[in-house]
């Protein structure tokens, strides 16, 4: 991983992230933006920002980011006699 800088001019926010490439850095910026903003505007498809990324070698690229909800579930085996949800 390398250190990338990602920012969005219209949203006025920037982040330095450890990423495998520029695309990963843009996606990390989106996740941080949604988490810090108190809402999930990118995941909710209310916002499709253009993210600028500067690679460690100085190369610049632009990425349009979007998101989607990806629910994750888990299950744990219950012992005999434990309560149920009914």
Could you list the mean pLDDT of each consecutive 10-residue stretch along the chain, which spans 86 residues?
Answer: 95 92 93 73 72 97 85 79 65
| 41 in any annotated domain | yes
| 22 in any annotated domain | yes
| 69 in any annotated domain | no
Cβ neighbourhood burial of 30 (10 Å; 0-12, 13-18, 19+): buried
Of 39, 12, 16, 37, give the one whose Cα is nearest residue 28.
16
| 77 in any annotated domain | no
Distance CA 53, CA 63 (A): 8
53: which strand partners?
Answer: 6, 61
Of 2, 15, 3, 4, give the one whose Cα is nearest residue 49.
15
Q: Residue 27: give the domain boundaries.
A: 2-64
Q: What pTM value is reported for the model?
A: 0.74
């Amino acid at each position: 991983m390398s250190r990338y800088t990602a920012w969005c001019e219209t949203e006025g926010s920037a982040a330095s992230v450890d990423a495998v490439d520029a695309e990963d850095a843009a996606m990390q910026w989106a996740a941080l933006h949604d988490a810090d903003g108190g809402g999930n505007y990118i995941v909710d498809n209310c916002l499709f920002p253009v993210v600028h990324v500067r690679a460690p070698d100085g190369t610049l690229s632009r990425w349009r980011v979007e998101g989607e909800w990806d629910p994750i579930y888990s299950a744990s085996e219950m012992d005999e006699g434990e309560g149920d949800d009914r």
